[in-house]
Amino acid sequence: MSATSGSVVLPRTKLFGSNICKSNHRIPTSCSYTRSLKSVSCHLSEGLRDHNKSSSTEIVVSCSSSSDKGSSLVGRLHHCGPIEKRNTVGQTFCSAGVSTYSGAQIDSDSHAIEEKIGVLLLNLGGPETLDDVQPFLFNLFADPDIIRLPRLFQFLRQPLAKLISVFRAPKSKEGYAAIGGGSPLRKITDEQAHALKMALEAKNMPVNVYVGMRYWYPFTEEAIQQIKKDKITRLVVLPLYPQFSISTTGSSIGVLQRIFREDAYLSELPVSIINSWYQREGYIKSMADLIEEEFKSFLKPEEVMILFSAHGVPVSYVEDAGDPYKDQMEECIYLIMQELKARGITNEHTLCYQSRVGPIQWLKPYTDEVLVELGQKGVKSLLAVPVSFVSEHIETLEEIDMEYKHLALESGIENWGRVPALGCTSTFIMDLADAVIEALPLATAISTSRSASKAVDHDPMQKIIKMFFGSILAVFLLLSPQMVQAFRNPLF
């Protein structure tokens, strides 16, 4: 798919500081609904993706914030294939204006006799039972966007994923057992899907909302098949990751791109993908609301240190592959703090990164090390804010609520608080609905054109030699004490 085909676009968004679309309609935070709703969650056959490295597609997105930092962010969306350095192929600038479209306007724009709009929510997925943990981990580590191997070692991907998942499963099961025996992510995402459907219908936009998980049921592949079966005529793809990263949004979009390129019907389906939405006013205000509310639980709110804890990524993703995650995260924190300051909250804050794994360097500072340092500096009141998570799952319920809370209290922090994930917060859901409405008119078909085909080793002897020496190097690598210890540390 060429970067100029327009199949991946960033819609005009309501940036922090712009006028938010008003609505009297509120979404109930309980988000209860009938779980059999097919448009919310698909249950078809299991599918694992075969990551296609045959092409490299890059979209450059430059989003100018209305904040007074005076700098613009450059976010690059990488799809299947090797990651290239800053190679500006196409740019889309985010408008600070607000665009709203009524149902009548949308119908008049359609060339189809019957408009059927779909919204696909993308998320990570999680094991629902303890028996699911090991296969879930296998799916995770078999993703080439999670463990990036040189071409010489590509044939080791699945054996390596199997080895890591077997090593990690016992410890990971302990974590999931501590939060009730499984991840609540699917249930919460289904609730968000239903709430979003109701919010869009309240705005005169009837839609089918689908859930596609990257590493567990319902898989993204299953959701796409249901979209095709339902004969959707226009689709908005909304990853539930506020900030873009190669390992999250990038990985899921890679699956979509591969499937759409290979299917005649899907390749003609107009699609709009919202790459990131951390700068939207509704999201910023919703985060500020939760922080402000949690301050009420402290006797002396003015003394509380705000600790933003984000999921980490390897430094190599940012420095070598050009992942915009770090820049977007720092901009996100800046916007949240600006909103809090506008409300008279001027507390000190810090940003740190959690959930690192393996012997390689991840984004710093690390959350566990920051907690110890804050205790040593005499900080007594701390409010943890899981900033890169919009749903409760093991990183919030076990890693933050149990591990980090224990470490904080042990380090001398006396008053601990934690902001809940956004979940089905009405202002958050309404803003997602606005994002969908704004993105829909920008939907275009994904091109079926392919880039240069993947290089193939035609010489059998050369391939055997590579496998032989690659296997020897892999054995030394896998048996090293650092690597064995890394395998044993829990990630999810």
pLDDT at 26 (0 to 100):
38
In what helix (H) or strand (E) does residue 120 lie, and over which residues does it extend? strand 117-123
CA distance 307 to 293: 15
The percent of residues above 70 in pLDDT, for the chain, comes to: 68
Provide the pLDDT for residue 319.
Answer: 96
Strand, coil or helix: what is 483?
helix
Please name the residue that has the structure tokens 């001027």: 346
CB atoms within 10 A of CB 381: 19
Residue type, position 216, single letter: W
Arithmetic mean of pLDDT over the chain? 77
The residue whose two tokens read 């749903």 is 391
CA pair distance 489, 123, nearest whole angstrom:
23
pLDDT for the residue 279 = 98
pLDDT tens-digit map of 89-106:
233 323 222 222 333 344
Cα distance between residue 241 and residue 224, in whole Å: 19
- Cis ω for the linkage preceding 218 (within 30 of 0): yes
Distance CA 321, CA 78 (A): 9
Of 412, 415, 410, 385, the residue nearest 400 (C-alpha) = 385
C-alpha span between 432 and 427 (Å, rounded): 9
Q: How many alpha carbons fall within 13 Å on the CB side of residue 331?
A: 30
Question: And the tokens for 174?
Answer: 């302990």
The strand order across the sheet containing 349-354 reads 349-354, 305-311, 381-386, 415-418
> In which residue ranges of the chain is pLDDT below 50?
1-14, 17-112, 448-458, 461, 463-477, 480, 482-488, 490-491
Distance of CA 294 to the CA centre of its chain: 25
For residue 240, with 0-12 CB atoms within 10 Å meaning exposed, 13-18 middle and 19 or more buried, which class applies? buried
**Neighbouring C-alpha atoms within 13 Å toward the C-beta of 63:** 32
Q: State the DSSP string of 195-211.
A: HHHHHHHHTT---EEEE
219 residue type, one letter: F
What is the predicted pLDDT for the residue at 357? Answer: 81
pLDDT at site 143: 85
Token pair of 383 as six digits: 């409010």
Residues 194-218: b if buried by 16+ CB within 10 A, e if exposed: bbbbbbbeebebebbbbbbbbbbbb
The strand order across the sheet containing 91-93 reads: 72-78, 58-64, 91-93
Q: Which pLDDT does position 451 carry in this prediction? A: 37
Say what the pLDDT of residue 76 is: 32
pLDDT for res 379: 98
